Chain A
Amino acid sequence: MRRQVLPGFGLSFGYALTYLGLIVLLPLAALAWKATGIGFHGLIQLLSGPRTLAALRLSLFGALLAASINAVVGLLIGWVLVRYRFPGRRLFDALVDLPFALPTAVAGIALTTLYAPNGWLGRWLEPLGIKVAYTPIGVLVAMVFVGFPFVVRTLQPVLASLERDVEEAAESLGARRHQTFFRVILPMLAPTLLTGFALALARAVGEYGSVIFIAGNIPMHSEIAPLLIVQKLEQFDTAGAAALGVALLLLSFLLLVVIALLQRWSNRWAERAA
């Protein structure tokens, strides 16, 4: 093995492995073990139920949509925060972390208070026929809220290291603004943007606390998959809850693998563009 700058590879590797095993792998193994309690047939029956399917669909597609919105808006906000100097920028920057710091239940109640038909925003949206609280749109709003900081925070350092010269060079070579953005800047940002997207997605898929207050929780309509898990626990159906948890985990994992592949592809794209 090549000599490393830092000594003690064996010790640090062993520590990393033990830590990862205890903190991540052990609970997951326990989850998977519990899930075997319902058997293969039970699992198929559970996952093919229309209510389970509807909840999984809402959780996954809601999270995908929320992460997409966060990717676009997060890029914009990250850009504004890095590139422009304006009064109150630091305060604005600190506000980005708020969804991290706020207990999710508080966030959920705050959002519901805003968007309920008698809330500050809800009362203006209601006459327009737009219902946010207690609909799938409410679920989306909560998912956007909790996932928002991920994209901004992952992009910021990369945006800061982005050389202005590159844009100037593109311009001097006759590139139009949209060409500079799509062919020069975006390829360089894409891998990081995907990381932020993946983090926001993973957070939204599993989000329970904030969503539950604003969702309305109507079966087949606005019921998220984590709620089904909680309901199974309330019914003392640990195995079913664990099985659903594993299913949700596998789906998220699959999505993250796809994102990782996209990232590899975009890395090559970035190298070509550079």
Chain B
Amino acid sequence: MNKLVPCLVALAGTLLAASVAAKDVTLLNVSYDPTRELYRDINNAFAAQWKAQHGDSVTIQMSHGGSGKQARSVVDGLPADVVTLALAYDIDAVSDRGLIARNWQTRLPDNASPYTSAIVFLVRKGNPKGIKDWADLVRPGVQVVTPNPKSSGGARWNFLAAWGYALKQPGGNEAKARAYVQELYKHVPVLDTGARGATNTFAQRGIGDVLIAWENEALLAQRQLGKDKFEVVVPSVTILAEPPVSVVDANADKHGTRAVADAYVQFLYTPQGQEIAAKNYYRPRLQDVAARYASQFPATHTFTIGEVFGDWRQAQAKFFAEGAIFDQLGAGR
């Protein structure tokens, strides 16, 4: 017993010394649902790189959930060093509470979205209803599965993709876009609360002919549920989904993790980070990485939020706020 105490003291001392020599840094990345696989790979690669360059080991903890809910948690005090969410509106909400600098979206290249995705269709094998483009979704007898844009950030991209498509048709205008989208939502038998729920409804419950989904979700679903069951259809024109990332300034400064957090989000833009994104079915920004994955991401005409809707705050107010266009469309049912 008497020998044990000095042993323990020595052990504690060694541990203490070790932890001082090589700093252990912990980062919390608060993200949305379908990025689990992506960030598992990113975190491993980044931790290895940071260790090689600085000798410190970084542990990155993840929190996943619906994008809006995650933003709310950060606002309510979840100590995130980094947020990687589904839409800029949710990071704006965190920024509004003073946790992130106002200019967060211009601090990083490409609207602070290191990777993108497109809104595409997942159809059943053989495409029995012959779905090629947005116009096919409103044919009689076609059922469409998409989550509720009021509760799902991902579904807001779906809504805006449909609206933008109608706007961009020859002779397209606001009234026609409204009529098209109204008709589209009449073809929706189930409005799930989130994107994964909608994927389950379509894939497991056999509801609907088309699932409107993010390309990364559609490709992942196809891989996990069987290539012999589903096909991905890329429409002629669609929205470029730009999921943004940012360091949470107030928290990173408080935790003293600013340098690591900055390096972490910038790592997403490096060739290695871009490669990992592409492997996880997100469209990379870097041209040469994109070229290597060209077969995975068919070319299509895309438009951005900025080009058609101004920005997320404006889109939110116009379409999804209480009593705004989505509510007006739903009232007819």
The answer to whether B322 and A218 have CB atoms under 8 Å apart is no
- The answer, among A116, A212, A217, A220, for a CB contact under 8 Å with B207, is A116
Q: How far is the CA of A15 from the CA of B193 in the complex (A)?
A: 41
**Is B68 positioned at the interface, with any CB of A under 8 Å from its CB?**
yes
Q: How far is the CA of A50 from the CA of B328 in the complex (A)?
A: 10
**Is A117 positioned at the interface, with any CB of B under 8 Å from its CB?**
yes
Contact status of A235 and B321, CB under 8 A, knowing A218-B191, A218-B333, A221-B333: yes
The answer to whether A219 and B93 have CB atoms under 8 Å apart is no
Contact status of A227 and B330, CB under 8 A, knowing A119-B205, A213-B197, A219-B191: no
Most buried by B among A50, A116, A234, A240: A234
The closest CB in chain B to the CB of A115 belongs to B205
- The answer, among B71, B188, B193, B320, for a CB contact under 8 Å with A212, is B193
A to B CB contacts below 8 Å, 29 in the list: A46-B322, A51-B327, A51-B330, A113-B204, A116-B206, A116-B207, A117-B205, A118-B205, A134-B189, A134-B190, A216-B191, A218-B191, A219-B330, A219-B331, A220-B331, A223-B191, A227-B193, A230-B151, A231-B148, A232-B322, A233-B69, A234-B72, A234-B151, A234-B152, A235-B150, A235-B320, A236-B68, A236-B72, A236-B93
**Is B66 positioned at the interface, with any CB of A under 8 Å from its CB?**
yes
The answer to whether A217 and B322 have CB atoms under 8 Å apart is no
The answer to whether B68 and A218 have CB atoms under 8 Å apart is no
- The answer, among A51, A112, A231, for a CB contact under 8 Å with B151, is A231
Q: Kindly state the interface size class of chain B when it binds its partner.
A: 20 to 34
Contact status of A230 and B207, CB under 8 A, knowing A49-B323, A51-B330: no
**Residues 26-67 of B contacting A (Cβ, < 8 Å):** 66
Residues in A neighbouring B217, C-beta threshold 8 A: none
**Is A168 positioned at the interface, with any CB of B under 8 Å from its CB?**
no
Name the distance in Å between B52's Cβ and chain A's nearest Cβ.
41
The answer to whether B72 and A116 have CB atoms under 8 Å apart is no
Interface size on A, residues (CB 8 A): 31
The answer to whether A218 and B190 have CB atoms under 8 Å apart is yes
The answer to whether B333 and A220 have CB atoms under 8 Å apart is yes
The answer to whether A133 and B193 have CB atoms under 8 Å apart is no
**Is B192 positioned at the interface, with any CB of A under 8 Å from its CB?**
yes
Name the distance in Å between A265's Cβ and chain B's nearest Cβ.
41
Residues in B neighbouring A233, C-beta threshold 8 A: 68-69, 72
Against B, the Cβ 8 Å flags (1 = close, 0 = not) of A229-263 are 01111111100100000000000000000000000
Q: How far is the CA of A240 from the CA of B323 in the complex (A)?
A: 13
Q: How far is the CA of A189 from the CA of B39 in the complex (A)?
A: 59
The answer to whether B68 and A234 have CB atoms under 8 Å apart is yes
- The answer, among B66, B71, B189, for a CB contact under 8 Å with A216, is B189
Residues in B neighbouring A218, C-beta threshold 8 A: 188-191, 333
Q: How far is the CA of A234 from the CA of B322 in the complex (A)?
A: 12
- Per DSSP, are chain A's interface residues mostly helix, strand or loop, or mixed? loop
Residues in B neighbouring A49, C-beta threshold 8 A: 322-323, 327
Which residues of B are in contact with A by a Cβ distance under 8 Å?
66, 68-69, 71-72, 75, 93, 148, 150-153, 188-193, 197, 204-207, 316, 320-323, 327, 330-331, 333
Residues in B neighbouring A113, C-beta threshold 8 A: 204-205
The answer to whether A134 and B207 have CB atoms under 8 Å apart is yes
Most buried by A among B205, B321, B330: B205
The answer to whether A118 and B206 have CB atoms under 8 Å apart is yes
Against B, the Cβ 8 Å flags (1 = close, 0 = not) of A137-176 are 0000000000000000000000000000000000000000
Residues in A neighbouring B333, C-beta threshold 8 A: 218-221
Name the distance in Å between B93's Cβ and chain A's nearest Cβ.
5
Name the distance in Å between A133's Cβ and chain B's nearest Cβ.
7
5 A-B pairs with least C-beta separation:
A219-B330, A234-B68, A118-B206, A116-B205, A231-B150
The closest CB in chain A to the CB of B329 belongs to A219
Residues in B neighbouring A112, C-beta threshold 8 A: 205
Contact status of A237 and B322, CB under 8 A, knowing A134-B190, A218-B191: yes
Q: How far is the CA of A220 from the CA of B186 in the complex (A)?
A: 12
Residues in B neighbouring A217, C-beta threshold 8 A: 148, 190-193
Q: How far is the CA of A67 from the CA of B20 in the complex (A)?
A: 62
Residues in A neighbouring B93, C-beta threshold 8 A: 236
The closest CB in chain B to the CB of A237 belongs to B322
The closest CB in chain B to the CB of A49 belongs to B323
The answer to whether A234 and B150 have CB atoms under 8 Å apart is yes
Residues in A neighbouring B193, C-beta threshold 8 A: 212, 217, 227, 230
Q: How far is the CA of A216 from the CA of B147 in the complex (A)?
A: 10
Q: How far is the CA of A217 from the CA of B321 in the complex (A)?
A: 18
Q: How far is the CA of A230 from the CA of B246 in the complex (A)?
A: 26
Name the distance in Å between B208's Cβ and chain A's nearest Cβ.
10
Name the distance in Å between A187's Cβ and chain B's nearest Cβ.
45
Q: How far is the CA of A206 from the CA of B71 in the complex (A)?
A: 25
Residues in A neighbouring B323, C-beta threshold 8 A: 49
Q: How far is the CA of A232 from the CA of B189 in the complex (A)?
A: 22
The answer to whether B321 and A216 have CB atoms under 8 Å apart is no
